[in-house]
Amino acid sequence: MPRSLPNIVVTGTPGVGKTSHCEEIARATGLEHVAINRIVREHECHEGWDDEMQSWIVDEDKLLDALEPLADRGGILLDWHACDLFPKRWVDLVVVLRCDSSVLYDRMAARGYAEAKLQENLDAEIMEVLLEEAREAYDEEIVVELRSDKVDDLDENVERVVAWTEAWKKDQARRANDEGLESEESEDSNAMEDHGVNGTADTNG
Ligand SMILES: Nc1ncnc2c1ncn2[C@@H]1O[C@H](COP(=O)(O)OP(=O)(O)OP(=O)(O)O)[C@@H](O)[C@H]1O
């Protein structure tokens, strides 16, 4: 069953602005912000807490099971610092947020991140780990890289995603309409055949 609302993955290194973006996009589009950390906690899709990295050790199978009904329904913003576990069929757009490393350092330091986590995240941002992961997992044309260094970037990015969402919805509605017309046409032609209008079978009988 085709979805009438898109699913969007918003990904990037911790601190790049995924939550801020998802909250604004959700407000502007009505899509549902699905913070994976919350789902992991609420549905217990984990094998415990990693103290050093200050994050859950995620059980991906359980997580995907918990997300599947939402993804099938459509209209969700998946907010997480990884993306390649989400099946391709769920995903219509992947937004990879990028941030200047000194800006990111300041954001993480302000949050009091442990040194190990801070360093690993900075390295990941510099090495473009998330961008690479997204490009390997999904078709090139659905992966967009957006800067998130300043508030103006955030506003601009939200506007772009809102415009994309509107265009996607229109396109999907047009397709559904075209398919509906096609199936009506084929029903009509079957009906005509059934009644011998189009065929030759009945003409002699
Ligand atoms: N484009 C931006 N310009 C200025 N500040 C920003 C921008 N994006 C995010 N911030 C700020 O950076 C901090 C981290 O943002 P946010 O929580 O949205 O990041 P995140 O990627 O969701 O992090 P995490 O993965 O740890 O949840 C917040 O204080 C937020 O206000």
Per-residue pLDDT of the chain (205 residues; tens, 9 = 90+): 689 999 999 999 999 999 999 999 999 999 999 999 999 999 999 999 988 777 889 999 999 999 999 999 999 999 999 999 999 999 999 999 999 999 999 999 999 988 888 999 999 999 999 999 999 999 999 999 999 999 999 999 999 999 999 999 999 999 988 888 777 777 766 665 655 554 333 433 3
Is there a contact between 59 and 41 (Cβ–Cβ < 8 Å)? no
Residue that the structure tokens 């009505």 belong to: 30
20: CA distance to ligand 1 center in Å?
Answer: 6
Output the pLDDT for position 101: 95
Output the pLDDT for position 51: 83
107: CA distance to ligand 1 center in Å?
Answer: 7
Output the pLDDT for position 192: 59
176 Cβ contact list (under 8 Å, min separation 6)? 2, 4
Q: Which residues pair with 76 in a beta bridge?
A: 32
Q: Which of 20, 37, 101, 152 to mutate to test ligand 1, by most ligand atoms within 8 A of the CB atom?
A: 20
Domain spanning 8-171: CATH superfamily: P-loop containing nucleotide triphosphate hydrolases (3.40.50.300)
Is there a contact between 18 and 79 (Cβ–Cβ < 8 Å)? yes
17: CA distance to ligand 1 center in Å?
Answer: 3
